[in-house]
Amino acid sequence: MSRTFVHRSVSGAARSYSLVLPAGFVRVGGSWSAETALSEAVAQLGLEDDAATVFRRQARPLLGAMPAAGDGLRLLDSYVLAGTWPGTRISATITCGVADVPPAVDPDTTLMNRAVRHGGSITAVAGEPAVTWTDSGEVISPPGLPSPVTVLRRRTTLSRIHGLASHLFVVVATVGGDVRDADDDPDGTIADALADLLGAVVETIRWLDRDGSTITDRATA
């Protein structure tokens, strides 16, 4: 993919982001319902008949467990593993969004408060300060699903956005599956591998300016 770059010192505020996805993930609108997202994923993959039915059965639980917009959170995009880990019903999603920072509140203070609350660690996203934390074990029962979903691994990253103090960037990377399939990964090896893969995707995030150029620290001339 061809890119143009602009130095941070002259870029202004970020207007968008980019990331690098591994093979096997499809993008769906973050604000779509689970059913709309599922239909779009099936269309992108070109699945028909039995293949479409199998994919819907496998992917629907985790799509139903994606974060919901509200309370100052606006979802931008979700990226869904096209199917499941071979031999299991374990799948994965990445959801990106933007969270409001209340007026007169320092965004760095918000980051530190979240780190303390969740036992998170300090990191960076595309050169901006961020915090990240992990959790697992939550059982979610989205409406319309025949059985609950177990969150095997979930890594949440909250980051400053280049040039903005009014919003924070949110990335939720989730590995999960039907609770009946817990025996698919008794020692957590598959969940750990998928969580590490999603973590690597987060590390590829870059900020884009209003012209779509990548904001960078490196010399651009």
Q: How confident is the model at residue 85 (pLDDT cuts 50, 70, 90)?
A: confident
Give mean pLDDT, residues 36-49: 84
Q: What is the pLDDT of residues 105-119, one digit of tens each?
A: 999 999 999 999 999
Give the 3-state secondary structure of 84-136.
Answer: CCCCCCCEEEEEEEEEECCCCCCHHHHHHHHHHHHCCEEEEECCEEEEEEEEC
pTM of the model: 0.86
Confidence of residue 1 (pLDDT cuts 50, 70, 90): very low
Q: Which residues pair with 17 in a beta bridge?
A: 207
CB 28 within 8 Å of CB 43: no
CA dist 179 and 75 (Å) reads 26
3-state SS, 194-208, equals HHHHHHHHHCCCEEE
* Average pLDDT in the chain: 84
For the chain, how long is the longest CA-to-CA vector?
A: 57
How far apart, in Å, are the Cα atoms of 97 and each of 65, 142, 220? 15, 20, 29
Cα–Cα distance for residue pair 202/43, rounded to 1 Å: 26
Counting residues of the chain whose pLDDT is more than 70, the rounded percentage is 86
Q: What is the mean pLDDT of residues 56-75?
A: 72
Q: What confidence tens digit (pLDDT) does each residue in 133-154 have? A: 998 877 776 666 666 778 888 9
Q: Which of 15, 170, 205 is nearest to 99 (CA)?
A: 170
> In this predicted structure, what is the pLDDT of residue 53?
81
User: Average of pLDDT values for 161-170?
Assistant: 94
Q: Cα separation of 66 and 15, whole Å?
A: 24
Q: Facing residues of 178 across strands?
A: 149
- Reported as a pLDDT band with limits 50, 70 and 90, residue 2 is very low
Structure tokens at 77: 């995009």
pLDDT tens for 173-219 read: 988 876 655 566 777 888 888 899 999 999 999 999 999 999 988 76
pLDDT tens readout for residues 10-21: 778 899 999 999
Buried b (16+ CB within 10 A) or exposed e, 22-45: eeebbebebebebeebbebbbeeb
